[in-house]
Amino acid sequence: MKVLLVNGSPRKNGNTFRALSEVACALNKEGIETEIFQIGARPVRGCAACYACVGRGRCVFDDDVCNQLSAKFAEADGIVVGSPTYYGQPNGALLALLQRACFSGRAGVQGKPAASVAVCRRGGSTAAFQCLNMPFEMLNCLIVGSQYWNVAFGREPGETAQDTEGMQTMRTLGRNMAWILKNLHREGAEPRPAGEEWQPMHFIR
């Protein structure tokens, strides 16, 4: 089993990476393979609402990491997405990628255990955390929690390691994710309930 952890910070080794690394370490101790995917600092596109991706499983724009991320989602058994907090929101580049990858490559995300992690200097983390969870809730994912909201504090690179409660929260998240994955994949486990056919309802007639 493998969990993909997405570092939504432009800083490769900043506080978001440190928080995700703590989750990954706990997963590894439980025998779960991990990969931390760095979105990088290069520009990314926002969704153009062209719907050209429908039926293709990938975004038609292939000049950034979106399709690479979608492929990683499809390979993973579980997903953790982390982001720094900017003005009470996740990194805009990460949001653009998630919106495109979760729409065009939804089959690779749907129904999987998923979690979000938000890192901040002082405040706004719970709003960013809630925002990150929204796509997973729409895709019938099993949202994995911890002993507190999955947040950690720190400003300068590496400071998050000093947030002892935050690091404990990350470790607990990792163990919870491992427990869910092991139970989902154990011999004799009951399959997930079959979903109903989607019945979209629009309020403007």
137 in helix, strand or coil? helix
For residue 180, give its domain range.
2-185
203 assigned to some structural domain: no
Which pLDDT score is estimated for 31?
A: 98
- Residue 147 to residues 112, 144, 168, 170, 176: CA-CA distances in angstroms? 21, 11, 9, 9, 10
Scan for tokens 């493998």, then name that residue.
Answer: 2
pTM for this entry: 0.96
Strands 89-90 and 78-86: antiparallel
Report which of 65, 125, 115 is spatially closest to residue 91, judged by C-alpha positions: 125
202 assigned to some structural domain: no
Sites in the chain below the pLDDT cut of 50: none
Q: Is residue 6 a contact partner of residue 82, using CB atoms and an 8 Å limit? A: yes
40 assigned to some structural domain: yes
- Biggest CA–CA distance in the chain, Å, is 54
- Residue 196 to residues 60, 113, 168, 193, 199: CA-CA distances in angstroms? 29, 19, 38, 9, 8
46 assigned to some structural domain: yes
Residue 60's contacts (CB-CB under 8 Å, 6 or more residues apart) are: 50, 52, 53
200 assigned to some structural domain: no
User: In this structure, what DSSP letter does residue 150 have?
Assistant: S
Residue type, 178: A
What is the domain count for the chain? 1
Which pLDDT score is estimated for 96?
A: 98
Query: Would you state the structure tokens that stand for residue 102, as one six-digit string?
Result: 């979760």
24 assigned to some structural domain: yes
Query: Would you state the structure tokens that stand for residue 116, as one six-digit string?
Result: 């979000």
173 assigned to some structural domain: yes
**pLDDT tens for each residue of 98-151:** 999 999 999 999 999 999 999 999 999 999 999 999 999 999 999 999 999 999
Strands 113-120 and 78-86: parallel
Q: What CATH number is given to the structural domain containing 6?
A: 3.40.50.360
Which pLDDT score is estimated for 194?
A: 85
Query: Would you state the structure tokens that stand for residue 122, as one six-digit string?
Result: 């002082």
190 assigned to some structural domain: no
